[in-house]
Structure 1
Amino acid sequence: MLVALTGGTGFVGRHVAATLARRGHTVRVLARDPARARFLADQGVEVVTGHLADGAALARLARGVDAVIHLVGIIVEQGPQTFAAVHVEGTRALLGAAREAGVLRFIHMSAVGARDEPGATPYHRTKCQAERLVADSGLPHAIFRPSIINGPESAPIRLLARLHRWSPVVPVFGDGRFPTQPVWIEDVALAFALAAERPDTIGVFELGGPQVLTYDEFLLAIGRAAGRSRRLIHVPLGLVRTLAGGFDLLGPAAPITSDQLQMLIEGSATPANAIESVFGITPLEFEEGLRRYLGPGST
């Protein structure tokens, strides 16, 4: 099977590409910067240079493929790279190219909490709008809403591990009771591959790990895996919201934005978890995954 992939140079994409290749599929990746995709080309992946606003590149990407896996997303807006431009218009353009090319399957990565309603963040609203485009496209499709993804390239988890190693305390936003359900990257990648292979996998699927953890428990697990579990200091939410509002002015350099804080507090549990029930994957426990890359000798 020939599978086209967007976001192939990112955290999730590189694992999806590797999983597809291991399962005997041919992979074609869209990359804005071919230098960043060189590691994929070295693995036998075909690289199409371009981006989601480049119609000619999308046509080359989709030509002759059996399935498209769409992973591109942003968590902070920067210049023309707005949530609407990337999540909504980018998805619209890719769907058009896929329909024109006669693609048989479209697999789309959304997010837990995606909804288009008052109070939702722009990130969640545009993720929901993209889901609607996929659902209304006429293409057989699967939409994934993963929880927090755990893996070696997770910058937020590595940052928290460094805090445990080098800071005497670790700050926690609010009471630390909001739920998380982190899922191992390889389990997510396998779910994407299985969805591409199974034409009867149609609908919206939440992906989470085997445990629902409070944010306090999430942080303590990272500390144990890093070998430096620290005391947690709870910071009042009012103060954190004020700080995050100031951080919003920093753009991509912000340690956390107001929207990211809201999404964290809302939680990311997946009560309708499809990892095991739909895809038959035995999910890796959070702390076991952490130990694989935060154990002795890691940085």
Structure 2
Amino acid sequence: MKRVLIIGGTGSIGRLVADRLLELGHPPRVLTRDPDRAQRSLPDGVEVVAGDLADPVALRAAAAGVDAVVMTHGAPYGSGDYAAVDYGAVPAVLDALEEHRVPVVLMSSIGVTASGGQSRELLEWKRRGERLLRVSGLPYTIVRPGWFDAGSSSHQRVDLHQGDRIEYGPARRDHVAETIVQALLTDSARGRTVEVFSADGPALTDWAGAFHAAEPDRPGDLDGARDRPGPRPQAEPERVRADLRRHAHTPLTHEL
């Protein structure tokens, strides 16, 4: 894997992913609106590319020649930019890749299937991004972190679950980053949606086995393998329906 594009590479998880990819010999490329800040916060060896998600020319240039894409982006909570960023990055990356089929690992969130709460708008847009990626035809993995920094130092084991099990709770940031990197490098992670939590016990070493044990998402289904059924596509905003019509490479189980 010669080059990995990271969308959101200056965030807390993106920086950890970049560090780990460098350590493993997979040089990352980070797209950022503030290259000077990125150069200061990222280690030597990370290629920094100036550009914005909303600029298709810059994004296409950043995606040129990459072997994989990691998406750890997210709008600041309370900003109201969730449609443009948390969701909008997904169709933007699909457009930039064109017909270039490379693995994509998308960091989403637990709770995306919840029906209410203060974060409802944010989670709905994250779920829409998940759904579009699932039917894009790309070899993908969707990683949903548990609650950041809610655990303890005794939680040494990465614990993977499915079905949007928010009750499991905490996730260490380094565990989330390691799961993203291992999903990128592990064939059995393809076509799966997993939640990441931190638990007591020995560190996870058999990543291939852990991903293989997860149920794969059903081809053509917009939702994860064990998720509660989501809204029908007809109930989604027209923007989302248009993106599904444009990017769906597998026959959908629901009509648009």
1:278 matched to 2:210: yes
Please list, as runs of the form range in 1=range in 2, the aligned pairs for 1:152-167 lying within 5 A after superposition.
none
Q: What is the CA-CA distance between 1:189 and the residue it aligns to?
A: 1.4
Structure 2 unaligned spans of 5+? 153-165, 201-205, 213-256
Q: SS state of the match for residue 35, structure 1?
A: helix
Give the whole-Å Cα distance in 2 for the aligned partners of 1:192 and 1:276. 13
Mapped to 2, the partners of 1:277 and 1:124 lie a distance apart of: 29
Q: How does 1:194-233 map to 2 (within 5 A)?
A: 194-202=182-190, 203-210=192-199
2:86 is the alignment partner of 1:87:
yes
Which of 170, 173, 182 aligns to 2:170? It is 182
Structure 1 pair 144–42 and aligned structure 2 pair: CA distance change class (3 A): closer
Q: Tell me, yes or no, if structure 1 residue 147 matches structure 2 residue 146.
A: yes
Residue-by-residue CA offset, 1:37-84 (whole Å, 9 max, x unaligned): 013565111111111111111111211111100111124243xx6111
Q: For the residues of structure 1 that align with 2:137 and 2:207, how far apart are their CA atoms?
A: 25
CA shift in 2, pair 1:180/1:116, >3 Å: closer
**Normalized against structure 1, the TM-score is what?**
0.58
Quick one: distance in 2 between partners of 1:187 and 1:276? 16
Query: For the residues of structure 2 that align with 1:186 and 1:41, how far apart are their CA atoms?
Result: 16
8 Å contact kept, 2:20–2:178: yes
Cα pair distance change 1:118/1:185, threshold 3 Å: closer
In structure 2, what is the equivalent of residue 14 of structure 1? 15
For the residues of structure 1 that align with 2:186 and 2:207, how far apart are their CA atoms?
Answer: 15
Give, in whole Å, the separation in 2 of the partners of 1:76 and 1:183: 19
Letter in 1 for 2:199: P
Q: Match for residue 112 of structure 1?
A: 110
Matched, 1:60 2:73: no
Name the structure 2 match of 1:43: 44
Distance 1:52 1:103 in 2: 19
Structure 1 residues 168-226: Cα deviation after superposition (integer angstroms, max 9, x where no partner): xxxxxxxxxx9562122222211111111123312101000116xxxxxxxxxxxxxxx
1:263-287 per-position Cα deviation (integer Å, ceiling 9, x unaligned): xxxxxxxxxxx9896259xxxxxxx
The answer to which structure has the higher helix fraction is 1
Counterpart of 1:219 in structure 2 is none
Deviations 1:234-276 (A, max 9, x none): xxxxxxxxxxxxxxxxxxxxxxxxxxxxxxxxxxxxxxxx989
Q: Which letter maps to 1:111?
A: S
1:122 counterpart = 2:121: yes
Contact 2:188 2:211 in 1 (8 A): no
Whose Rg is larger? Answer: 1
Give distance in 2, aligned partners of 1:201 and 1:189.
15
Moved more, 187-196 or 2-11: 187-196
* Alpha-carbon separation, structure 2, partners of 1:99 and 1:194: 25
8 Å CA contact 1:140–1:199 kept in 2: the answer is no
Cα distance in 2 for partners of 1:109, 1:99 equals: 21
Identity %: 35
Q: Give the RMSD, CA atoms, in angstroms.
A: 2.7
TM-score, structure 2 as length reference: 0.67
Residue 191 of structure 2 is aligned to residue 191 of structure 1: no
Long gaps (5+) in structure 1: 152-156, 158-177, 212-273, 281-299
